[in-house]
Amino acid sequence: MLVIIASAKTQHYSPLPGLPTTQPALLEKAAALVRHCRSLGESDLQTLMKISDKLAHSTIQRFKDFTSPHDLETASPALTTFAGDVFAEIQCAAYSADDFLFANERLRILSGLYGILRPLDLMMPYRLEMGYKITPAANSSLYDYWGEAVTRQINRDLRQSGSSVVLNCASREYSRTVLTTQLNAEMLTLTFKQQKEGKLRSIAVYGKRARGMFVDWFIKNRIDQREQLQDFDRGGYRYAEDLSSAEELVFTAAV
């Protein structure tokens, strides 16, 4: 099984000495996107991203600082670079080298700038969400820009790992990038719902944390069979058979 999650806006340089690192699989395509973003200028970026002057300035500076290939002085592994609600629950600080290597084989991070990243792929901090309509002229959106390339890469990773199932732990904004009609595997979506004040609903912040908890549990327990997925029990979550289907596994917890 291969797990996909979404990247995060919050990022920080966080190297992992002693572990092997790699260049992102779609780095050339990412570099072309950076060149396009550089050509827009701060005012255009501010309008397209709906961000402040300060954020627009730091964003364009990051595009200017972008270099390819990446090096260890300015780039760090994706799994430790991303922060935010999902990644806060992935307990990297306690991981062994074997944990990182298993994660690198089985976890993929969807990204607006890089398309798709392995946990040990080097990356430079950036701001470019998948929902932004910032693309070269031939593309209408970042989904259009990345869809086929990301799906082809996932198919390559599936063959290499011997997997036949993609576990979708990404937000809808990012999971849309994967073209399921071209995917050589079953896509199984994991949904986390919360019981609050007598009502069952999907609360975004809790859902993000639950996805991170699931990924950490998946890595630490070396999950490789579909029937094992129902055993997930972090944060009080339990498998809800009555709400689940062949395409979606639902877990619920009281909050």
How many Å apart are CA 215 and CA 54, to the nearest integer?
34
- pTM of this structure: 0.96
User: For 53-76, what is each residue's pLDDT tens digit?
Assistant: 999 999 999 999 999 999 999 999
**Distance from C-alpha of 71 to C-alpha of 21, rounded to nearest angstrom:** 10
Residues near 91 by Cβ (< 8 Å), separated by ≥ 6? 216
According to the model, what pLDDT value does residue 252 have? 97
Mean pLDDT over each residue of the chain, to the nearest integer: 95
pLDDT confidence band for 25 (50 / 70 / 90) = very high
Helix (H, G, I), strand (E, B) or coil at 159: helix
Q: How sure is the predictor about 198, in pLDDT bands with cuts at 50, 70 and 90?
A: confident
For residues 65 and 68, give the distance between their C-alpha atoms in angstroms, rounded to a whole number: 10
DSSP structural state of residue 176 = T
127 vs 145: CA distance, rounded Å: 17
The encoded tokens of residue 131 equal 């929902």
pLDDT tens digits, one per residue of 139-194: 778 999 999 999 999 999 999 999 999 999 999 999 999 999 999 999 999 999 99
Q: How far apart are alpha carbons 213 and 211 in whole angstroms?
A: 5
Contact 91, 82 (CB under 8 A): no
Q: Is 77 helix (H, G, I), strand (E, B) or coil?
A: strand
If you compute the radius of gyration of the chain from its CA atoms, what whole number of angstroms results? 18
Q: Which of the residue ranges 44-48, 138-142, 227-231 has the most confident prediction, judged by mean pLDDT?
A: 227-231
Q: Is 43 helix (H, G, I), strand (E, B) or coil?
A: helix
Instruction: Identify which of 129, 110, 142 has the alpha carbon closest to the alpha carbon of residue 25.
Output: 110
